[in-house]
Structure 1
């Protein structure tokens, strides 16, 4: 791995902040690196409050959206809440539909089928709305590029309200309202919301018209926090406040569906990392293996026993998903080796029998072996569909844009995208994508990077130091858990490889003449056992280790050399 240290901040600002907050300079430095430079900013960071949320009416078209929904209610129209089959989409649909149902009954939900309809607003969904007399569709986490489909709906006298957070194209659909803070002409102060976050701003606006306050909406924040964690949006500003309070709801009074998932796990307190790796994959598994409707039914279920039944079905989907992704990853790795493509700048693999529901996960797995922009294709109807994943620092969405002559449809973000193309264009696309990446990527980006906040003497680690680090949570992009580097450390001589196949490393390290030692665990670092015979450098984060009722601070090694 490349070890990259964050730039040194202005020392005077660090000194002043350390004094104002009564913390040591290392902690003050970490805060200044995160653009927290004053007492007030630090207070806002460490003590988020829902009062910091922006007025939803600052978002372009919010007034129009609220007015159209109010008219629909007044005229007793049927409202269809439509959203994608991933975590962000299904939580957003659950959020908006369950809120509307608290005061209006003519509301139904629609999740497109991953296999029959694919991503985003679908013609089948619009036909379903027409057949069942829905005159208003609220599209969540999708729709910003559905220009033809919104026109098709208009011809059938069906109106659209679009709540999306994906990058808009040059033209936006002709909907009643388009809520997307990424629109150039939208002056909303924060543009990093996820789809469920935009849905939350919509219910916040509707609530204000019903004399409800933000406190009335707190029970919905478990859904918002789950979407923020799963969609890997920046953990800054509004997202951080929503995730902070949403995590409290998850740990104290979650909705039945989330409670049922946690109930199966026997875990006491969940962190945002647990949400990413425990709750989100299970919600996602429904749309991957069966149908996203299962996730919405789980997340909106009012009866706990029924929620337990849904959760156990989803647990089965999740186990099946794990088996499949292992199998397909193995097959994809063989394909790369057989085609002698281990030295390419990209990974592009295809098999018509691979399960469409797991190709995104497989793309991420392949990056763990061959660290480069990756696409995994499978057959979808008469086209090929792919999931794209990128490496840190490289915009895969832009790269795909440069290959658009061979693509039928694509959408997504800098680091993750989806696309479809015709089978006859696959080879040309593959060649062009390799060429684009080869000519545009900084070759350094093909080596995994670890970003280190600062160097740390092991003697600086204290319960107070660790407590303040913990208070910086929830962690996520742009507010990652701090990574430290310590140089010239030694192992106490009992370091060993652990785990079933000896893939992990367990050490007890100390530094210099200070004989105080710390337990350290390095997941996936078992092969580096030879590095610890003499002095070595470590990059790590801090965590809590509970063993036999004793709690201690543990170093979680990211790399050593």
Structure 2
């Protein structure tokens, strides 16, 4: 682990903000590190409002998209809402289809089969539209590179509206409208929306033509917040506003499908981390194990009893998914060892019977042991298909682009991507990718890094500080949970290992004459020797609230000790 203390901002900026907000200097430091330098910045940060959302018509082609949908409705056309099988895709399809159905009946949904059709727009999906009389397809969270598919649909007199957030290629598909804030010619003020976020802007634009206000769209924000959390997009700007109010819907009056999932897990109040680790994997499990349609059924069901039935089925898929990813991770680690590939710059593995639905999760798991860009391949029809995951700071999408002559297709983001290739190209691609990463990755990127916001003493940790930090939520990329360093820490003699395999560490810590604070270190069981016999150590941690028997107390969530 590399411990990196973030550079301290200019003293003047810290002092001015601390004075304006009447907070301690180190709280002002945390804010300035997040780009918040004035009273107004802080007001917008601490008091998000739906007024901060941008006019959807600032997005390139939004006027064309709205006009085409209104034309379709006026002419009684059948509209197919098409989306990917992951959380972002299924929430986006649920959002747009359920909104359109509030005033127009000729709406159906289509989620491609992960195994038979693969990622994104499929020819099979277009054939389905053609066979069933659909003349307009709204594609969500996919389509930005589907030039051939859109042309194929056009030959069949089917129009496309594309709502995507992935990076475009050199050319755009010839759709009626292409909504993607990452288009070079799109001047929309915020380009980090997820696919469901782009779908939300579309329904917001449609609603404005029907005299609806933002208040009419609040009930849809549980879906948007779930997608933002699951897709790990920056928690800044519009995303933060949508997630903030979406969490209020999730904890207040969520749609029956999300309510049924929460009911299954029996948790009182959910924060963004709960959405990432509890809600999102369950929605994802449908497309991974069975079919993404099950997620859309759950998220568009308005009868709670029926939603509970769907939720219990999805719970089973999630259990199956956990078993699979545990097993395949074990096999992947064994393969690395047996192939003598511990010292490479990349992990690229293939096994034909690995379950396509969990290879992305397995890639993330493997990075926990071998911290480097990782690709996990399996057999998909007559091709090899893979999910890629990257390490902090390294753009895996760019690396794939540099090796694209070996690939059939690829798409994705800086940290996660998918691809297919022909069997005979696997070995040459594997070596080309290794060479590309070796030449372009900085050696430091191969060592996991903990970024520390500030060094503080335990006496700085007060109920007031905890209250202020709580208002930094929701957390996510570019607004991560603040991480602190404290030196000269000692355990008071209560250190013990926890967990089925003693993998976790529980301590009760003090610094000098401070009061003792409980601390928990997940995955730090092997560090216990550093804490025994009152030996002083340094701790890096987040400040958590722990709720037990209705009482709330402060605890430290340890990230590393030395």
TM range (shorter): over 0.9
In structure 2, the residue matched to 1:22 is: 22
CA distance in 2, matches of 1:165, 1:380: 26
Q: Is the 8 A contact 2:458 2:514 kept in 1?
A: no
CA distance in 2, matches of 1:25, 1:315: 46
CA distance in 2, matches of 1:548, 1:300: 35
In structure 1, the residue matched to 2:525 is: 526
CA distance in 2, matches of 1:343, 1:442: 15
CA distance in 1, matches of 2:266, 2:314: 17
CA distance in 2, matches of 1:47, 1:321: 39
In structure 1, the residue matched to 2:345 is: 345
Shift of 1:515: 3.6
> Runs of at least 4 residues of structure 1 off by over 4 A?
none
In structure 2, the residue matched to 1:42 is: 42
Matched ranges for 1:383-402 at <5 A: 383-402=383-402
Shift of 1:483: 0.3
Q: Deviations over 1:311-337 (max 9, x none)?
A: 011001000000011111111111110
In structure 2, the residue matched to 1:242 is: 242
Matched ranges for 1:53-452 at <5 A: 53-452=53-452
Q: Deviations over 1:403-426 (max 9, x none)?
A: 111100000000000000000001
CA distance in 2, matches of 1:233, 1:252: 24
CA distance in 2, matches of 1:190, 1:325: 35
Matched, 1:9 2:5: no
CA distance in 2, matches of 1:345, 1:468: 41
Shift of 1:60: 0.1
Gaps of 5+ in 2: none
CA distance in 1, matches of 2:367, 2:45: 33
Determine helix, strand or coil for the equivalent of 1:364: helix
Determine helix, strand or coil for the equivalent of 2:153: helix
Shift of 1:549: 3.7
CA distance in 2, matches of 1:326, 1:156: 45
CA distance in 2, matches of 1:147, 1:6: 43
Question: Could you tell which deviates more after superposition, 78-87 or 9-18?
Answer: 9-18
In structure 1, the residue matched to 2:538 is: 537
Matched ranges for 1:489-504 at <5 A: 489-504=489-504
Shift of 1:93: 0.1
Shift of 1:192: 0.1
Gaps of 5+ in 1: none
In structure 2, the residue matched to 1:546 is: 547
Shift of 1:276: 0.4
**Backbone CA RMSD of aligned residues:** 0.7
In structure 2, the residue matched to 1:484 is: 484
Q: Is the 8 A contact 2:179 2:198 kept in 1?
A: yes
Shift of 1:497: 1.2
CA distance in 2, matches of 1:243, 1:322: 27
Determine helix, strand or coil for the equivalent of 1:468: helix
CA distance in 2, matches of 1:181, 1:217: 21
CA distance in 2, matches of 1:212, 1:547: 43
CA distance in 2, matches of 1:289, 1:367: 23
CA distance in 2, matches of 1:343, 1:322: 28
Shift of 1:552: 1.1
Shift of 1:551: 1.9
Question: Could you tell which deviates more after superposition, 9-18 or 77-86?
Answer: 9-18
CA distance in 2, matches of 1:258, 1:333: 35
Q: Is the 8 A contact 2:459 2:514 kept in 1?
A: no
Q: Deviations over 1:442-473 (max 9, x none)?
A: 01111100011011111000000010000100
